[in-house]
Amino acid sequence: MRTQPRIMGILNITPDSFSDGGDFLDTARAVTQARKMVEEGASIIDIGGESSRPGAEPVSVAEQLGRVIPVIETLRAELGSDIDLSIDARVSEVAEPAIAAGATMINDISAGSDPGMLRLAASRNVPIVLMHMQGSPETMQDEPRYDDVVNEVCTYLRERGRSAEAAGIPAHNVIIDPGIGFGKTKWHNLAILKRLDALCDLGYPVMLGTSRKRFMGAVCRETEFKQLVGATCATTTLGTLAGIDIFRVHDVRENRQAMEVALAALSVPSA
């Protein structure tokens, strides 16, 4: 029987994230939200102090640390060692203090473009998520183009995974993420969802982050991000069937249910 996928709850300590910007800037509210997500089934909380929505501007290291460190310290003291705290960051200057404060995982949308990030993950023996993105948050949706999006994403992630291993990170600590919505059109995203098995065949744990993404609104004719919970659950079901290891979501309870039902169906013995 396959291992049950893990749920990563999203905790954006930002004023401008696309779906929940400003909701959890206050440390007390952030901690309450994290506690709720754990109660609903999250075993990882992903804490970020910089928005990666399309068109987002970079945030200084000092500002990011001021946002995330109090939350990480409080959650580590409250939750103990059973819950993984992930730092969502692109530079080691943010990730290193976060790990010192209690983070146990790195989520890097730039896939280790800062060489210090791979060295940090290796030296501290923490898992690192390496994500595919065409361009940067400021420019990624300008006109993304691919000849074969699934093949190009897989090739990139295979290469980044090998670079991480060469830096001393064991393969089980290298997690890959296709970067749904990061430098991709609606059809690119749907093509990746259709071929999630190709990502799972690369030999690394795979994380899927589709939660409330704009492309699903275009499919479902919804303009309000928070109305895309059902759409997100559909992608969680697809991911469970394909073999995804981690689902990064805002709505933990609903996606946990979708994952558990799909997993139960997979476990039924063949006639």
Q: For residues 226 and 168, which has the higher predicted lDDT (pLDDT)?
A: 168
**What residue segments make up the domains of the chain, in order of their start?**
6-266
Is it the case that residue 96 has pLDDT exceeding 70? yes
Domain made up of 6-266: CATH architecture: Alpha-Beta Barrel (3.20)
Please list the residues that pair with 41 across neighbouring strands. Answer: none
Q: Could you tell me which of 63, 64, 60, 85 has the C-alpha nearest to residue 74?
A: 85
Checking DSSP bridges between strand 105-108 and strand 128-131, what pairing results, if any? parallel
Q: What is the pLDDT of residue 83?
A: 96
Sequence-distant (6+) residues with CB within 8 A of 192 are 149, 150, 153, 178, 180, 184, 199
Q: What is the pLDDT of residue 99?
A: 98
User: Please, what is the average pLDDT of the chain?
Assistant: 92
DSSP-assigned states of every residue in 52-116 = -STTPPP--HHHHHHHHHHHHHHHHHHHTTSSEEEEE-SSHHHHHHHHHHT--EEEETTSS-SHH
Is it the case that residue 198 has pLDDT exceeding 70? yes
Distance CA 225, CA 211 (A): 9
Instruction: Name which of 53-67, 69-83, 179-193, 253-267 the model is least confident about.
Output: 53-67
Distance CA 204, CA 186 (A): 25
DSSP-assigned states of every residue in 126-162 = --EEEE--SS-TTTTTSS---SSHHHHHHHHHHHHHH
Q: What is the pLDDT of residue 19?
A: 53
Q: What is the pLDDT of residue 230?
A: 97
Q: For residues 56 and 67, which has the higher predicted lDDT (pLDDT)?
A: 67
Interval 173-184: pLDDT, tens: 999 999 999 999
Q: Which band of pLDDT confidence, cut at 50, 70 and 90, is reported for residue 24?
A: confident
Q: What is the pLDDT of residue 25?
A: 72
Residues taking part in catalysis: 213, 248
The structure tokens 């640390």 sit at 65
Is it the case that residue 1 has pLDDT exceeding 60? no
- Taking residues 187-208, report their average pLDDT: 97
Is it the case that residue 142 has pLDDT exceeding 70? no
- Taking residues 244-251, report their average pLDDT: 98
Burial class (CB within 10 angstroms; exposed 0-12, middle 13-18, buried 19+) of 186: middle
